[in-house]
Structure 1
């Protein structure tokens, strides 16, 4: 049984259809890359998984539970942690307050998050709005981990960051993978995605047009579906 399984997903913005039968799955302990050019349905797929959009057709299953159309807070409690695009840390809370705000019991504790991102320990009493963009991204990842998710979703987790910070984030993702964390990652950086991803799903105009191992994503396919 897949940890996350999506079948035949159709979602709309008003009368405009955005997803046309999207298929996607994440197995336990797997890192899956969701890829595609801008505007091809990646964000809509994430919003549908999280319950922020109610699909008109198809199914979304988390383990043995169907969560299609379920309220977002209920889906989160079933074990999905999100690192949203744009970070969205609580600006007027300190680093530590951000981390404990939505914490749930489990293996991820303040000590473990601070070990993963030592910079957060150094800035534990600073307000989130005083952090650099890279530090806020670390905080967003740490906050999601503090919910002790079965599935961690990273939506453009390295976009707009300085190269050295990007490497810190990818190093953390590799460490999480080594520890068995299931991850669904949306990102455009093929060179960094390919070594860490177990499988890739590519969307084109709201449809799943490729699924398979990274090695199967040939230069021709990359140019066709991912090129600018």
Structure 2
């Protein structure tokens, strides 16, 4: 699986390269700014990309803009964005439209190697991978009807938005698959979403809702 990285911090980019190669990925290129990143994507056509939100020269939103431009040029290009902090506006921009093959993780998540590698593979396969802190802040910016959800329903909604399936959610919350299915039905009813409890489509539905109501 070929990866292009956009990261100006040499220490972090070197660590990412080593981590990825150790876990069976091929690092095609490492770019230190948005222009080089877009050039590398055009040249290598990677299976997935990793992009720092803030890149030279201003270290504001060059990375997120580059990620969006790369997806415009190459529709469906999987992008996993890394950020030092939760930045609600950037997450919302990334999730606009059809949030397929996108991820937004905090940088400290990289140190949890198995979680990070799993998230990257999920994004590469067209899934979603949102940091729990990102999900929490997205939910915090929503009013009703999200406010009508119970604590358990909010927990399940957050795990759904991170891309987890029913079995994983049940395991994490120590409840049955049937209980998860019922909670999801209640969530969809309260959010006014189609009652589709099948795999990736439900994640897209939830993320689309969170984005459209922002």
What interval of TM-score do these two structures reach, taking the shorter chain for normalisation? 0.3 to 0.5
Structure holding more helix per residue: 2
Structure holding more strand per residue: 1
What is the TM-score normalised by the length of structure 2?
0.35
* Structure ranking higher on relative contact order (CA contacts 8 Å, 6+ apart): 1
What is the TM-score normalised by the length of structure 1?
0.33
